[in-house]
Amino acid sequence: GFEPQIRKIVAVVPPTRQTLFYTATWPRQVRALAYEFLRNPVQVEVGDVNSLNANKDITQIVHIVDNQQQKQQILNQIFGTLEAGSRVIIFTSTKRMCDQLGMQLMRVIGCGVIHGDKDQRE
């Protein structure tokens, strides 16, 4: 996936550097890459690293839809049944769709948009 980009970056940064490596999963390929580029690494783990179990307090619901109308119906249904203080994460296939959906949702609920083209300040 991202190994070529990491190799390019490492090739141009000074050898004396501080490198932080964050990952939600820790498969063998990612571990090998990390150990290749990190010196005296410290590993901080949260939860059972040998298990990819989701938090039991989180309900995960996946809706697969065929068109924009179905997407809108599902969103209306979901947001119509939420209790106050509920939290929802919506994944989109593109950054542009993320921005568009965020603008739509900001009109009716408080929401934020996160993707790689956003500044950290945002």
Q: Is the pTM of this model over 0.85?
A: no
pLDDT in tens, 47-99: 666 666 667 787 778 888 888 899 889 888 888 888 888 888 888 889 998 99
pLDDT band at 122 (very low <50, low <70, confident <90, very high): confident
User: Alpha-carbon torsion 17, 18, 24, 27, what sign?
Assistant: positive
CA distance 45 to 26: 10
Asked if 58 and 47 touch (Cβ cutoff 8 Å), the reply is no
What ranges do the domains of the chain cover? Answer: 1-53, 54-122
CA distance 66 to 84: 29
End-to-end CA distance of the chain: 26
- Three-state DSSP state, 54: coil
Strands (E), the chain: none
pLDDT in tens, 16-52: 888 887 777 777 888 888 888 888 888 877 766 666 6
Query: Which residues, including other chains, have CB under 8 Å from residue 98's CB and lie 6 or more apart?
Result: 92, 113, 114, 115
